[in-house]
Structure 1
Amino acid sequence: MEIYHPDWRTVPTVALCSIFEILTRRDRLAFVMVCQSWKEAVTCSRFWRKFVVYIDQDFMEPSLIHLTQEFYKYIKHLVIGWRTPMWEHRLKWPELKYKDLTKRVGKFLVILYERSVQINVLEINNWYDVFYIRKLGYLMLRIVKNQYGLTSITLNNANFHDMNFINILVSCLRSKSTLEEIHVHYLSTLTQRNFDGWIFTSCTEQFTNLKVFTVNIWVFWHFYSRLQVTLSKLTELNLYLDDSARIIDKITFPDIAESQWDMFHVLLPNVLVNLSVKKFLTDSQMKTIVQQSFPLASFVWKYKVNKECCRKTCAICLRLLTNNHRDTLQTVVIAVPDVSEVPFIQRIIFLKNKCKKLQYFCFNRLRWQKKKRATRYHPYSLI
């Protein structure tokens, strides 16, 4: 009886792609080394367009370097950073491990630089300033300077040595005509202490096609008069405020004339503002931040620590949202666990009735979401 030996080279491409998607990075390297037909089946931009690498996890395996050398030309979306907080590694890792890690990550970055890999989307998350890996920050800047077609850049707590996010934005000037989204969110006060606002605004003026902008509200406030003129094509403005700005003027905002606020709709006619606050605000700060001139589409306020005047601030917040943003407000999330939502039932109902575009509302345990109407078609309407 003849034994049947299947030919693995004839496995359908659809089946190979389904298997490849669930494999780890090390198994993917073994997968592409089986035969030429298997390698050709997964050699497409679908699997390699978004490349996610964690410095403290993925670079421990040599397979990452081999895969980068094979499929670097398909990388269009690069996500790089640390997966776990740096202070945990400082207690566990010896100096030799940092040096070995620097060599591996440096080789990966050099491959991207020497091969002139052009990335459309770049995300740098949780990049910590450690003495042993400072060289990697400069290699990362070289890669950014080499980009000509960046469309989006995200800097989430990317703390390079002696370089705040302004230096990274300056490195993106070669992509000034293509860059459409900038997301800058810092959790460290060290970078904001050395913040140079005039270089920041001068750099932002070069990005003529910017449509989505995420920045600390303190930065936007202090350079409002210049930013509103340069960001004429902006459609979405994401402002956030948290404890990262506690060193800067102790959350004091400059006085802006009413005439400048009135020009907001004129200079930025299509923009919608999303405001996220993760700290306690006094009554005066709440009145300052929830500006009437802002076409506020989303408002999120989360705070956990109990304050005596927090209940009064919540009442002011609901009143300002109802009076100032009834025509544009779509989402409201207020999470203040130490304040009961029962005394604000009447205000919440009033806000819900006045804000015609409101889609979702959440006040601690009280939630409401607008139901989408099911569209019914006549049997002959599609003929």
Structure 2
Amino acid sequence: MENQQWRFMPMEILGIVFRYLMRRRDKLAFILVCPEWMEAVDFKVFWAKFIVKIDEDFSEPSLIYLTQKYYKYITILEIGWGNTRNHSLFFMRFRDIIKRVGRFFTILYEHYVQLHRLNIFDWYDVHALRKLSYLLMRFMKRQYYLKAVTLNNANFPDIAFSNSLLAFLRSKSSLKHMTLHFSTFNARKLFDCFAFSTTMELFQNLEIISIDCWIFYKFFDKLQMKFNKVRLIYLYLDYTFKKAEPVIRIRQCQWEKFHEYFPHAVVNYIIDRPMKDKQFEGILQSQYILVSFIWNYYPYKESCLVDCYQCLQRIVDLQSENIEYINLTLPTDDLDTLQYKLRSFKRICSKLKSFLLNNEELMVKKPIFSK
């Protein structure tokens, strides 16, 4: 009899080998080698997370097969498009692939798969793909135990976007973290109506909100209910609207109610664009607690150092008792011109724990921060 000791390798070794397999067809080939290898990876740790790119992962049937076999382990689903162009052309050329996508959603729906985390990314409103949006919505309406939801450029039709928020309400008792990021100009209409604000107010168990500045401001400007459980608010600002006003102005009387609406929340800013002092007037306020400030200043502008001075001065004036972490990425290595401002910054901001400038920790390595 031929020696077949390779079939009975320790499960730990097989698990390590399996983790190095990136493509699904390689994983499928692995489990089809023999029953012993299939049994070695028949655990939740190997199949809990599915990352699915519609235009890349359905060209061959391995994903459908693995979904049919291991659907009971799926708790994390990330689904979207790898290439965000020519969706209509994709549909016309690859109807069989679209049918497989529909089959994928149907398997999840029929087996009542319950997710803990859902991430929908780069999903665009194309008429030829409305059927997929419908199948996705039908599956989402069966979710009752979601803990984290991410909509990253999930540009559904208007009614589908409203339905997605209503579907998430079925998990409102368990949902703790919500992330909303939209970088297309047409997405603005999704958040202009009161329906978005009134629906968001129903998520009373949220603890972490990660959201674009402009979306948060539209929501906060109409807010009328208290969020007692929110602990962290991450506000993100980039080049989303080049032709529009970069910062939406909020009434001062509404800012003064921030602690009333978010009594236990602290704010973290992440900015990926140049900013002027006038623009900082709209986002840096004294009514909330700012604990971290990350600013990636690009592309290069001659005013970058002046903008940096003014930003730091505004933080000192408004948040000197609260700020703990600062991370600045500037298109310059001219640290000498910043010495005076940084020295005074450290002296005034008593809670400051870390100050990164171009990925270099100044609190430890630079003499300007030494005693």
What's the TM-score bracket when you normalise by the shorter of the two chains? 0.7 to 0.9
* Partners of 1:339 and 1:38 in 2: CA distance: 54
- Where in structure 2 are the equivalents of 1:170-181 lying within 5 Å? 170-181=166-177
The answer for the alignment partner of 1:14 in structure 2 is: 12
> Would the alpha carbon gap of residues 286 and 228 (structure 1) be closer, same or farther in structure 2, given more than 3 Å must change?
farther
**In the alignment, structure 1 residue 47 sits paired with structure 2 residue 70:** no
The answer for the alignment partner of 2:155 in structure 1 is: 159
Partner secondary structure for residue 172 of structure 1 = helix
> Would the alpha carbon gap of residues 188 and 98 (structure 1) be closer, same or farther in structure 2, given more than 3 Å must change?
farther
* Partners of 1:370 and 1:153 in 2: CA distance: 37
Structure 1 gaps, min length 5 = 372-383
**In the alignment, structure 1 residue 359 sits paired with structure 2 residue 357:** no
TM-score, length of structure 2 as denominator length: 0.88
> Would the alpha carbon gap of residues 106 and 164 (structure 1) be closer, same or farther in structure 2, given more than 3 Å must change?
closer
The answer for the alignment partner of 1:190 in structure 2 is: 186
- Provide Cα deviations, 1:2-52, integer angstroms capped at 9, x if missing partner: x76134443221122122212231122122223333222211111011111
The answer for the alignment partner of 1:251 in structure 2 is: 247
The answer for the alignment partner of 2:31 in structure 1 is: 32
- Provide Cα deviations, 1:185-243, integer angstroms capped at 9, x if missing partner: 11111111343441112111221210001122223223426547332210000111222
Structure 2 gaps, min length 5 = 366-371
Partner secondary structure for residue 328 of structure 2 = strand
The answer for the alignment partner of 1:5 in structure 2 is: 3
The answer for the alignment partner of 1:293 in structure 2 is: 287
The answer for the alignment partner of 1:377 in structure 2 is: none
Q: Aligned partner of 2:72: which letter?
A: K
> Would the alpha carbon gap of residues 251 and 197 (structure 1) be closer, same or farther in structure 2, given more than 3 Å must change?
same
**In the alignment, structure 1 residue 108 sits paired with structure 2 residue 104:** yes
State which of 219, 227, 232 in structure 1 corresponds to 2:228. Answer: 232
The answer for the alignment partner of 1:206 in structure 2 is: 202
More moved, 331-340 vs 32-41:
331-340
More moved, 40-49 vs 156-165:
156-165
Partner secondary structure for residue 291 of structure 1 = coil
The answer for the alignment partner of 2:277 in structure 1 is: 283
* Partners of 1:27 and 1:310 in 2: CA distance: 49
State which of 117, 121, 125 in structure 2 corresponds to 1:121. Answer: 117
Task: Decide whether the 8 Å contact of 1:150 with 1:179 is kept in 2.
Answer: yes
The answer for the alignment partner of 1:322 in structure 2 is: 316
Partner secondary structure for residue 332 of structure 1 = strand
TM-score, length of structure 1 as denominator length: 0.85
Q: Aligned partner of 1:302: which letter?
A: N
Task: Decide whether the 8 Å contact of 2:137 with 2:160 is kept in 1.
Answer: no
Aligned length: 364
The answer for the alignment partner of 1:135 in structure 2 is: 131
The answer for the alignment partner of 1:76 in structure 2 is: 75
* Partners of 1:49 and 1:94 in 2: CA distance: 29
> Would the alpha carbon gap of residues 223 and 209 (structure 1) be closer, same or farther in structure 2, given more than 3 Å must change?
same
Task: Decide whether the 8 Å contact of 2:327 with 2:357 is kept in 1.
Answer: yes
Q: Which runs of 4+ in 1 moved over 6 A?
A: none
